[in-house]
Structure 1
């Protein structure tokens, strides 16, 4: 009986070790891209009259450069600002993610107090 318990204990430890060895998760590329986009869009140059959430659709080419495809803002000034700040800017991402399309929502806060 002790032999069976010992054997089961060894088997459980053997299966448990590989699971514990992988404790870190791979980085989430989408989070990284979102953080980089937010950094590029800081310090707005345009007047924003009320808080707005803008969905920005863009792609990343083989040189990791951003190309803004569209956004759902009704403000021409905000649309120009987004394109000026993002078009042709380089992101630092994994090379396997080239030619991927992204849509992210960014909240712009009112600049009028």
Structure 2
């Protein structure tokens, strides 16, 4: 079987375009708001334009899925992510820990930070 590109010089191999990055930021934020927070944050490594899109997501759900470190990784993530978070309104903040709350967790600071972001 012959390759069409080889037999027809006018047909060129199509390079895969990054069409999703061309979508409006509001739509990208909406898409990221319906996937798990950890996956939305992971998109920050895709490219420079994607680095901070997750910070506009108005919904943060953080779950401690392992019994390691008594949930410290979740609290560290929350403290760091809320410092970077830029959404004008935080519609939803959910924190679930499987193990007990870490001794150094500043719950008051977390609540104050959420209130300052006009949490609903």
- The structure with the greater share of residues assigned to strand is 1
- Structure 1 length as normaliser, TM-score? 0.32
- The structure with the greater share of residues assigned to helix is 2
Greater C-alpha radius of gyration: 1
Of structures 1 and 2, the one with the larger relative CO (CA 8 A, separation 6+) is 1
- Structure 2 length as normaliser, TM-score? 0.31
